[in-house]
Amino acid sequence: MKLPTFEDTWQNSLQWQPTEKQLEKWEQLYQEILLINRQINLTRITDPQDFWEKHLWDSLAGVIGLDFLPYKDSLKVIDIGTGAGFPGLPISIIFPHWQLSLLDSTQKKIKVINLFLDALKLSNCQTVIGRAEDIGHLQQHRETYDLGLIRAVGEPSVCAEYVLPFLKVGGIGVLYRGNWTKAEESNLQTALKQLGGKIILVKQFQTPLTQSVRHFIYLKKVISTPRQFPRSVGIPKQKPL
């Protein structure tokens, strides 16, 4: 099984095209994932078209074409709850001059990502094992990132409590969502007021192959996050702000 390239689809949906080299790296990543998946259940998304849409296209759609991102700079990026490396790995392949931290609390997943980093020679990524609630308080991570990404980790206000502490003032957080409701937005607003952030853009997409609904919520950190956030391990989920 080989990944489709879908040059026209990239162009039509995101006004962007991958290079030959990037296509090659994605193909390599896909093959590595298929191989590991025979031993451990890393992802349910293994069909080539499914993988293309849900892992590649979706990861990139969240970060391409934003007029408030200084793309040329060597951005410091964190992917919180990266799992098998999404959205962080496909992004690291198209922005080799960005520095990515891939954070997950599951050692097994981080071990697998380390294998991918070696196999694909991705020298711009480092992995971090731990809970966002703990790592977000460490000096070497707190308020040091330009961009924070979070997909499929929890409710929006929980994601905000995980992401905001990592961002520099002026930094951007991206919440990858399916549906987006008024109730979620209002809960998120309540959380952001306490965390020092605000919503600057909500972007809606239909995915190009299956026409599923996707939303990307862009947050900007406007003031420093108070020291008490994130709260202790488990509390953000049990008692969302």
Footprint on this chain of ligand SAH (rule: CB under 6 A) = 81-83, 86, 103-106, 109, 131-133, 151-153
Alpha-carbon gap, residue 76 to 58, rounded angstroms: 20
Return the structure tokens found at 157: 């206000």
| CA–CA separation, 117 and 85 (whole Å) | 10
Nearer to ligand SAH (CB atom), residue 14 or residue 45: 45
Q: Which is nearer to ligand SAH, 18 or 88 (CB)?
A: 88
Tokens of 64: 């391409």
The span from the CA of 101 to the CA of 178, in Å, is 24
Minimum separation from the CB atom of position 82 to ligand SAH (A): 5
Q: What are φ and ψ of residue 143, in 5° steps? A: 50, 40
Instruction: Report the residue number, 83 or 171, with the smaller CB distance to ligand SAH.
Output: 83
> Shortest gap between Cβ of 133 and ligand SAH (angstroms)?
6
Q: Are 216 and 61 in contact (CB under 8 A)?
A: yes
How far apart are the C-alpha atoms of 144 and 20, rounded to whole Å? 33
129 versus 209: smaller Cβ distance to ligand SAH = 129
Supply the minimum distance, in Å, between the C-beta of residue 56 and ligand SAH. 12
Least Å distance, CB 70 to ligand SAH, is 24
CB closer to ligand SAH out of 26 and 86: 86
Strands (E), 44-97: 76-80
Min separation Cβ 29 and ligand SAH, Å: 13
